[in-house]
Structure formats: C-alpha cells, structure tokens
Structure 1
C-alpha cells in the first residue's frame, strides 16, 4: 500500500465527522449518482430544483438525513456545464474525486482534523464549488490538505488565511443552489496530497486520461470518514 494511504488509514481509529449531523449508523445512506444509475436519466439534473427533489425523495425513502458517496464515480451530471466539457471527449471531466454528503441547507460543516486555512475562494463557474475552504494539515511529518466545497457565502466572509481550527471545530455551513454552483445542498469533501499551486480551488472532477494521477494525489476521503 502507498505510504500516504497507509498514513491516512492509521491516522485515526474512529470515524471522522465533517458534518454536525451525528451518524447513528442508520441515518447515513449510500447513494449512486454514476452513469450506471439508469434512473437518473429520467431526472432533469440540469435543474437544481428537480435534482433536489430527487435527493430529498431518496433521503425520505431511506429514512436518512445524509446521502453519501461518489468517490471515482463517472457521472453524467457534469454534461450540463461547459466548465467540465472539452471539444476532445477524452478530456471531458466526469470522474468525481471527492466524497459528497447530500443533506439540508445550512447544515454545519466541521474541520476534519487540526489544521489551518490554506486558502479560500468563491468559485463561481456554473457547476463549480461556489464558496470553498481548503485546510492545511501537518500530522506526524505528513503535510496534506482537505477541501470543503459548496458552502455558504457566510462561511468565507470573515475568514483569514492561517486561521487555525481544531478537529471538529465549526468551519461553515452548506449553501443553497444560488451560491453553491447550482446543486442540491451538499458538502464536497476531498483529500489532496499536493495542491500544485492552486489557491482556494482544486479540481474535484477529472478526465479518464488524468485519472491515475488524481487517484494518487486525491485518495479516498472515506479513509478518514469511514462511512
């Protein structure tokens, strides 16, 4: 196993919370938003309202508060935005690099681990993150980053680079479709080994041609969340 993956796996024995919604063992449910989910072809995912109705219905049907998943899912939902598409189909970005947690607007987001604000930004492209916070972590000699996307504007309005957070501290809240890139409310949580000079942003979706690099640089967030 890659040494960084082994480090992440061993960095904490208990599951890490990134939302204020306590995981009871039954109120978090996995969701499949990949191209393999044929039912999604009947949902107008270009409409945040219709997409939200689908998520809300899924949560209600499963008697859950949070629907989670998406790491390395190949998704068709990004076809709605030119932000992810290229003329060369081989460069189309449709493979998701983080883990999404779909829940209600205003849900509190928590710092995954002790760290400091590396950068933050409102990424305004259609289909993008909206307000985003990136934390830098230094643990037992390892330096890495966690990204929190689709937040509210209030989450970054008084933030400063270098501000420190302890694990579990309140980081921000989830934004609505008007500010979060036009999605149902959710947290995009991603681990990044090398920021490559990005500030307040980092690719959360990649193309098939770049997949091997991003798999290595953005390991499965569930190594920390243990959902």
Structure 2
C-alpha cells in the first residue's frame, strides 16, 4: 500500500538496482533500515520494489496531509502497521519521528520493523547516533551505474584488479567519443534520462533550486534535533 505517492509518469522506467538485495538482507536481521541518497536518485522507487508483495505499508512525507499527521502525533504515526513493516519515505522532513521509531523498537525488538528513506544519513546526525546505534543500518543509494542502466553486471573494478588489459581495451573500443560524452551529459539520475538537450538542463536547474529552497531547511532541522522537545 502506497499512500501519498504518485507514479503517473508514463515514460518513467523503473531500473533494477543492485542495492535492492542489500536492503532485503538488512531487513532480515535489523529493526530499522534506512535507504539514504540524494533526492530523485530513486529511493522511493527502490523502497516500492523492496516492498512489492509483502503487505507492508509505505507513507511518503512529501504529501502535506501525511507530513502533518507525522508532525502532530509522531507516536501514533509510527504505530500504524504494528504487525508488519512500515516504510516512511523522506523521513528527514519529520525528525520528530526518529524518537518515536526508537521507542517502538525498544518496546518490541524484532527485525524488519521500519524501512526509511531520506536525504540525510540519520546515523550521523548529532544526538541520533547513540539512540539508533545497534537498531538501524544505512544502505547508501547512488546514481544509476552503467550496469543498472544496461540491466547488466558492473565489472569494471574486477577487470581492473584482474589486470585484464585486453578485456578493458575491448570494452573501451566499442564506444565513440561522442557516445562517452552523451553518457556523461545524461548523468546518473533516472528522471533526466527521459529528456535531452535544454529540457535535461532545465531539470537539473530546477533540481538545484529545490535543494537550496527546501531540502537544505529539512537538513538544518535534523542538525538541531537536540533542541526538539
């Protein structure tokens, strides 16, 4: 069940992420798992893929009504799915939830209670390291790798350490300079890969503005959690 989230972009492609297996393994033995990464890197999509077919509940704090509920009554908010996994998307928008999550875990410690996504690593926030230590694991999510884009395996590191210079030359020789430049310009975020030229640049410009105008404020709130009542 996904509440407050829209997946209405008909052209969007949900890439299979290598981190999916890491998240699932962490949920087997860890009460709280955090998918941490920049906005639009694919955290929400990955969470949806992890939860598919599990009966878990996913709430996104990007929706005003959901965010208000989380801020007004964090204790009740985190107890909405007591017998199964509760996933909370963009949790840094309501830092009040962190202490409520800790309380639930301490009352009944079992693995796979919460799956959180956020643009900040909650385990490194002042005042939160001690409270979440031993209860949470962070899985970093970066931009798409070339293996994920091509639905294949990333093996550059293994080739480098194997000393297989011939194999590396074969890979490099299959692409032109223009193709390399296009890969660089496309970037590693899923959404701008649907665009090209000026439309892609417009996406990146708006992305930076959003980070400065809103996300920086959310991170600032997290950095002062010790001042919350």
The answer to whether TM tops 0.5 is no
What TM-score results when the alignment is normalised by the length of structure 1? Answer: 0.25
Q: What TM-score, normalized by structure 2, do the two folds share?
A: 0.25
Judging by fraction of residues, say which structure has more strand. 1
More helix by share: 2
Higher RCO by CA contacts (8 Å cutoff, separation 6 or greater):
2
